[in-house]
Amino acid sequence: MSDFKQEVVEKLLHNTFNEANIPSDWHKPEEQANLAIGVILSKQEKKPDFAYRLESDSIGEKKVAKNAYYGVQTLRGAINFPITGMRMHRYLIDSVAEIKKAAAITNYTAGRLDEERATAISQACDEIVAGYLHDQFIVDPIQGGAGTSLNMNANEVIANRAIEILGGEKGDYSIVHPNDHVNFAQSTNDVFPSCGKMTAIKLILEAQKALNDLASALQAKAKEFDNVLKMGRTQLQDAVPIRLGQEFSAYAAAVQRDIKRFDKAVSCLADLPMGGTAIGTGLNADINYVNNIVPNIVAISHLPLRQAENLVDATQNLDGYVEASGIIKTCAVNLSKMCNDLRLLSSGPRCGFAEINLPSMQNGSSIMPGKVNPVIPEVVNQVAFNIIGNDTTITLACEAGQMELNAFEPVIFYNLFQSAETLTHAVRTLIDNCINGISVNEERCRDLVNHSIGIVTALNPYIGYKNAAKIAKEAQKTGRQVGELILENKLLSSKQLETLMNPQNMTGPGISGDTSEWQKHYHLKNKH
């Protein structure tokens, strides 16, 4: 590559976005419209005052709104697939633009695209990544054709904006053509999987950051509650004492495992099939393009990506999505179990466990005055249920591939993105509106421990199993406290009982209060 060409490439690899180049009538969409855009467009073109340009493809001619940056193939896709009423995820739009920019630069260095077109295409892509023209991506996330509608939506929007940059009018594809220039050396079958993987990685990294914050919040609560003794429960029955801090420490440990798993999720999505074109064989892609497209995508996106070792395999087989979705599902299961505990521990306020207090976030009933529900844990539970369902869809769709391609990546990505993004939002509200504000009812915890028969287990090594069973039976029958009965029967002194009932002694490995003196006392008592 010549020094001049290298200089052009280095310039293009950097973001060339300039606000001054943005037309005055452009705007960044605040929210993606929740409507079946294709239905509206099909009605719009029938209006007598409809300003349009005539475009054609292999199907035939069609009217396209004169000011639209998308073209005829995008319009057909929007009309054909009015499925969810949603638009493409903003990160997917950014990712496909990053790929198209990398492709333009790589084709330029390979001598397959001239500098003028490569520069205009790159500028158009940078504008899209900056948040503009997202409203021109009108195809539904769930679509037939393995993602062709999205790929052509990107090709047409980028081509028409590049045409404008070069001084032409939208629709004059002799200047920049969606297929011949923007899509050169590419296929939907390598572009769509790649931009989907990039989007999933971006969302998973965001989720991982939220999980790190959750782990920190839980660890802070574990430290705060470390000396609070409470009853542990198995199968919802009294078990043996535990410190509330230990329970929160366990929640933090589970989240930390999930954080590590998310590294694996990113890794199993990092292999891009770019350069494989239609079925992984690389037909119609210059060898220099094949070797350099992924490094250029990495340079533009700053994501931890690599080219798949076997491009045919990467085009056919989608097991990486199953693995990534499974990791997200595993995290959702852990979070849901934790939220089940939080709902139980805070149940009441008078007739439940009432060991902890969750922040009061909103009225709980339209008919029962004063009722406050655990709405934040409840919404996390629901997000988890949805993620589990999404994982089933992803599994079925990944299995449904045939021969050289899986046509069902649109529904895979729709569900995978939703799983990662809703997990992030659920974790954020869990931290801010629940975990950080949890307080403990220490007196209630102490009272439940004192009235529980379960504590006799910790005393068993000192008073013997037979005595322990007798005390437990009497406590159950009379409702009196275990400690009270032990003192009454002179099985231990009050000082000994106090030592044994110490939260740290009761909730650590070994025998509570175990010392040589205690062991001597135990053996002597049994001897007599």
- Report the catalytic residues: 365
Write the single-letter amino acid at 306.
Answer: R
Write the single-letter amino acid at 93.
Answer: I
Cis peptide before 410 (omega within 30 of 0): no
Helices 244-269 and 319-345 meet at what angle, rounded to 10?
160
Give the C-alpha separation, 189 to 180, whole Å: 16
C-alpha neighbours within 13 Å on the C-beta side of residue 421: 13
Give the C-alpha separation, 456 to 485, whole Å: 11
Q: 369: buried, middle or exposed (CB in 10 Å: 19+, 13-18, 0-12)?
A: exposed
Q: Report the 10 Å Cβ neighbour count for 126.
A: 21
Residues 6+ apart with CB under 8 A from 475: 453, 456, 481, 482, 485
Q: Report which secondary-structure segment, H or E, holds 64.
A: strand 61-65
Q: Report the 10 Å Cβ neighbour count for 336.
A: 19
Question: Token pair 């709902």 is at which residue?
Answer: 343
Residues 6+ apart with CB under 8 A from 422: 383, 386, 387
Closest CA to 158 of 139, 137, 140, 142: 137
Write the single-letter amino acid at 309.
Answer: E
Contact 295, 274 (CB under 8 A): no
Q: Report the 10 Å Cβ neighbour count for 282.
A: 19
Cα-Cα-Cα-Cα dihedral sign, residues 380, 384, 386, 387: positive
The three-state secondary structure class of 111 is coil
Give the C-alpha separation, 291 to 503, whole Å: 63
Give the C-alpha separation, 213 to 220, whole Å: 11
Contact 271, 233 (CB under 8 A): no
Both tokens of 134, joined, read 């997202």
